[in-house]
Every structure is written in structure tokens, then in C-alpha cells.
Structure 1
Amino acid sequence: MTWKHPSSPVTKKFKVQRSTVRVMATVLWDAKGVILLDILPKGQCINAAQYCSTLDRRERPGLLRRGIVLQHDNATPHSANLTLQWLQRYGCEIFPHLAHSPDLTPSDFHLFGPLKRHLGGMAFEAECDLFNELKNRFAILTLISFEWVSIRCCRAEKNA
């Protein structure tokens, strides 16, 4: 405690706040794990052309075959004519999920929930450090979560 004269000005205490950086990413995954992680450059938004370009990247050979069921919400890039034409060309079926549905999608529950809990409170010096942490974390989540999901799905199929 310090003594001050009553007429001396009050010292201001500045609060240091960390700025938050939002990262836009497209994550494609199935029961075997993350197929593709596409992180957009800072300030870039996803549109139908970008989304179709991401879908065209084949990280796992033989992935695009007839009978693929894709779950995504009805956001503009997902419901644009260009995207619908792409999905029709590859014979993909859409399993709809409303953008503002109170139900969690599997991605929210198995991918983004654990990711947010892991990254909470972390600070990164550079964007590339954040991207590397995202890639590493998705690899870890793949090993842990999807094994559990696969076992659970197999058990559910046997009980049905």
C-alpha cells in the first residue's frame, strides 16, 4: 500500500486482454478419422467455389464413390447450386442438419467440442503455430475419438 496526497491523480490500471483469432476451417471426416483439414487464410470466407474445391481434393484414394452420405447444414456454401451440382455429379446423398438446430452434429460433439476445450486459454505467437496445433490435435482426436465411435456404431448395428 502506498500513501498518496488526496489531490494526486488516481493511477489507472490497464487490463491486458488477449485478442482472439477466429480460424475458418473445413473438416471432412468419417468413421476412420479426419480425411481433410482445410484452413482458410485469415480474413477469407468460404463460398460455394471454395467448398467445391475443398471437396475435390482427394486425400484418401477411392473416397468418392457412389453411395457417399454427406452431412452438412444448409449454410449458403453447402446449399448453393454449384455445390448441389458437384454433389449430384458424384452421386452424394445429403443427410441434412439445420444450421441452427439445437441438436449437436457429430462434428460438434466429437471434433469441435474437444478441440475448443483443448485450445481454451492457449496463446500462439504466430498463425502457423495455431495451424500446426490444429493439425496435431485433429490427429490425436482421430486416434482416440473415432476408435470409440466405430466401436459404438458396430455395437449398435449388432443390437439392431
Structure 2
Amino acid sequence: MEYRHKTSPSPRKFKVVASARKVLFNVFWDMEGVVHMEFLEQGQTVNFERYISTLRAHKLRLRCVRRDKDSILQHDNAHPHTSHQTQDALRQLELTTLPHPAYSPNLAPSDYYLFTQLKKYLKGDHYDNDEEVIADVRRWCHGQSSEFFADCVRQLVKR
């Protein structure tokens, strides 16, 4: 709602264009780099079933790229992460999670560090289709050094 004089011109409304679409991106990473990433098809959302499927794929990928290392997942309190079905799947897959305090978005490293840097990289670029965006995001993720990811974890300790 907006207060204005009767003779004031109507506010301009912007139309959504095709380029305003979003590509959903799930990423699992550690101090060494990206372990697993997935891009969701247009119109899909992350519910507990989709998240469990992603966790299974992550576990398989983890065996390939970090064979002898333990994995601790740190994610926020979104419903797909905290549902009973997800918690059962985490136990079955033997994945340990780090508890996330409620109302603490500044403790989600992907939000305050990884995605912020990715957005800076993508800012101002225009893509003709989702495949171009996905390819550029993959290229950027794989182009980051292990020091980049380690720095993020060090920032989490400070927070």
C-alpha cells in the first residue's frame, strides 16, 4: 500500500521476464572443496523426499572423493532437514549433523560466504538458458581453491 495524492501518477509496475527465473542449487562442500552438487529442474522444490535422495547421492559421492574422512553436515533448520524421515535417513546413512541454533542465519556458511561470492561472480551476466547458468556455476565452483573453502570454515569458527 502506498500513500499518495489523488493527482499523483500511478506507480510503475515491473513485469517479470524470462531471465528472472531461478535455478535451485544444492551443494555439499568441505575445507577442500565441493563434494557434491545438484541442480533442480524448473518447478521442483526441496521437500524431505528430495532431500533424502540428495543425501544418498552425497553419501555415494563422499565415498569416492573423501574415502578415509568422516563427514559432518552443517545445515539450517529448514523442514526438509529436520523432518523425522530425514533424521531416520541420516542415521541409516551414518551421516553426523552439527546442530544449528534456531534463528541463526549467520551460521550457515553457504549463505554468508559461498553463495555471496557466487552471486558476485554471476552479477551482471545474462544467460539464454538454464544449462548456461549451470555450466558457469560448475566452472566457478571447481575453479575455487581449497584455501577459499578453508577460509569459509575459519569464518564459521569466528561466528
TM-score by length of 1: 0.72
2:67 and 2:48 map into 1 onto residues whose CA distance is: 19
Q: Report the CA distance shift for 1:16/1:67 in structure 2 as closer, same or farther (over 3 A).
A: closer
Aligned to 2:115: 112
Q: Is the Cα–Cα contact under 8 Å of residues 110 and 145 in structure 1 kept in the other structure?
A: no
Q: 2:80 aligns with which of 53, 77, 89?
A: 77
1:66 and 1:128 map into 2 onto residues whose CA distance is: 32
Q: CA deviation at 1:61?
A: 2.1
Aligned to 2:4: none
Which range moves more in the overlay, 52-61 or 96-105?
96-105
Q: Is the Cα–Cα contact under 8 Å of residues 75 and 81 in structure 2 kept in the other structure?
A: yes
Structure showing greater radius of gyration is 1
Q: Is the Cα–Cα contact under 8 Å of residues 66 and 90 in structure 1 kept in the other structure?
A: no
State the Cα deviation string for residues 93-137 of structure 1 (Å, max 9, x = none): 321335742524221233101001111111001111011011111
Q: CA deviation at 1:72?
A: 0.7
* Larger RCO, structures 1/2 (Cα 8 Å, 6+ apart): 2
Q: Is the Cα–Cα contact under 8 Å of residues 72 and 97 in structure 1 kept in the other structure?
A: yes
1:74 and 1:115 map into 2 onto residues whose CA distance is: 23
Aligned-residue CA RMSD (Å): 2.9
Query: Aligned pair count?
Result: 139
Which residues of 2 match residues 144-155 of structure 1 at below 5 A? 145-146=148-149, 148=151
Whichever residue aligns with residue 31 of structure 1, its letter is: M
Q: Report the CA distance shift for 1:120/1:17 in structure 2 as closer, same or farther (over 3 A).
A: farther
Q: Report the CA distance shift for 1:66/1:141 in structure 2 as closer, same or farther (over 3 A).
A: closer
More helix by share: 2
